[in-house]
Amino acid sequence: MKIGIACDHGAVEYKTEIIAMLVEQGHEVIDCGCDGKESVDYPDYGYKCAKLVQSGEVEKGIVMCGTGIGIGISANKVKGIRCGLCFDTTMARLTREHNDANMLAVGQRTTGIEVVKDIVNTFLTTPFSNGERHIKRI
């Protein structure tokens, strides 16, 4: 799968780890930055990744910041984006099944890396349930 990924300075370590995992799994990853610890503004990176999803250049987007909140809000301002902030694999499964989320937000300060890896894997492998009530809502 082709996947976009972005973070702010608060989640560079997780971005590096998740990219390595995704590449190892055979995914193609477009890295939207940022790349260092210098303070940046998360909307710049959330927007960049969301535009890749909106245009169809990538199938899914993953964004990260300290909490996942700021960069997730930024992504959700782009038309057509449904970005779900997830703390566990149940949320990851349900945001795919019920919301047909095309982007995932996670936080480096709030969620352990092993949990984030499981969240990412659940998010990428769970299909939308396609139920009539969910289609109507999204």
How many C-beta atoms surround the C-beta of residue 38 within 10 A? 8
Q: Is 76 exposed, middle or buried (0-12, 13-18, 19+ CB in 10 A)?
A: middle
Q: How far is the CB of 40 from ligand RB5 (least distance, A)?
A: 9
Query: Of 73, 84, 71, nearest to 8 (Cα)?
Result: 71
Which member of 32, 34, 49, 65 is catalytic? 65
- The angle subtended at Cα 89 by Cα 20 and Cα 136, nearest 5°, is 110
Distance CA(29)–CA(20), nearest Å, equals 10
CA end-to-end span of the chain: 23
Q: Name residues contacting ligand RB5, limited to 13-52 (CB under 6 A).
A: 42
Residue (73 or 126) nearer to ligand RB5, CB: 73
Q: How far is the CB of 66 from ligand RB5 (least distance, A)?
A: 3
- Is residue 65 part of the annotated active site? The answer reads yes
* Contact pattern from residue 60 through residue 89 relative to ligand RB5, giving x for each residue in contact according to CB under 6 A and a dash for the rest: -----xxx-xx-------------------
Asked if 17 and 44 touch (Cβ cutoff 8 Å), the reply is: no
- Is residue 27 part of the annotated active site? The answer reads no
Q: How far is the CB of 1 from ligand RB5 (least distance, A)?
A: 26
Tell which one of 4, 10, 61, 84 touches ligand RB5 (CB under 6 A).
10
Q: Which residues are catalytic?
A: 65, 98
Binding site for ligand RB5 (CB under 6 A): 8, 10, 42, 65-67, 69-70
